[in-house]
């Protein structure tokens, strides 16, 4: 099972945090030891700026990591919604066309991009049977072949929602008027 958080980045941030704490403590110790008039020298100033830059870098990395993790979660959620919507479109189309369970099985494999021999092997049937099912699927869908069949679903995915429709359903395809 994959970890949700990028472990390498977290370890790097922890290591940088420890270094920042060490350098900040060293700067404070040098400042206490040197007292105020002697604090203002180039060595102390460089160490202090380096420690501050390291602390700022750690803060930036933590914020960037959190933003990336939020973005990843959002994209995964959107992908899940899209996959669910596509499944609903496929199920509705298959129902509208009246596909048999065997035809639905073959149609799913076709949508996944499998070739006829692969579908036949997975279903444990002859290639001729798969071809017969595909013929029935194409006839019921009103298309001539695999490309047109796939295009039906791609069009549904690419259809923009109608802003006037409160349900958010995609626009119906334009039809020619006589």
pLDDT digits 0-9 by tens, 134-164 = 999 999 999 999 999 999 888 877 775 555 5
**The model's pTM:** 0.51
Average pLDDT over residues 38-47: 76
Is the model's pLDDT at 127 over the cut of 60?
Answer: yes
- Segments making up each domain of the chain, as ranges: 7-76, 98-158
Average pLDDT over residues 4-27: 87
Distance (Å, rounded) from C-alpha 161 to C-alpha 178? 26
CA 141 to chain centre: 31
Is the model's pLDDT at 102 over the cut of 70?
Answer: yes
CATH topology of domain 98-158: Arc Repressor Mutant, subunit A (1.10.10)
Q: How confident is the model at residue 82 (pLDDT cuts 50, 70, 90)?
A: confident
Average pLDDT over residues 55-60: 94
Average pLDDT, the chain: 83
Average pLDDT over residues 68-72: 91
- The predicted structure's pLDDT at residue 176: 38
Backbone angles phi and psi of 161, in degrees to 5: -65, 145
CA 46 to chain centre: 44
Distance (Å, rounded) from C-alpha 144 to C-alpha 138? 6
Residues with Cβ within 8 Å of 94's Cβ and at least 6 positions away in sequence, in order, are 103, 104, 107
């Amino acid at each position: 099972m994959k970890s949700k958080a990028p472990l390498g980045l977290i370890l790097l941030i922890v290591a940088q945090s420890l270094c920042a704490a060490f350098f900040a403590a060293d700067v404070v110790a040098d400042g206490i030891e040197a007292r105020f008039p002697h604090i203002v020298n180039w060595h102390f100033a460089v160490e202090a700026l380096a420690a501050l830059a390291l602390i700022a870098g750690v803060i930036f990395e933590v914020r960037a990591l959190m933003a990336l993790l939020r973005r990843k979660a959002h994209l995964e959620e959107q992908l899940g919604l899209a996959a669910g919507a596509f499944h609903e479109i496929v199920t509705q189309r298959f129902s509208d066309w009246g596909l048999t369970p065997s035809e639905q099985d073959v149609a799913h494999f076709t949508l996944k991009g499998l070739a006829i021999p692969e579908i036949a092997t997975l279903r444990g049937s002859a290639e001729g049977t798969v071809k017969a099912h595909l013929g029935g699927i194409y006839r019921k869908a009103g298309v001539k072949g695999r490309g047109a069949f796939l295009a039906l679903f791609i069009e549904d995915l690419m259809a923009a929602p109608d802003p006037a429709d409160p349900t958010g359903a995609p626009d119906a395809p334009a039809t020619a008027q006589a």
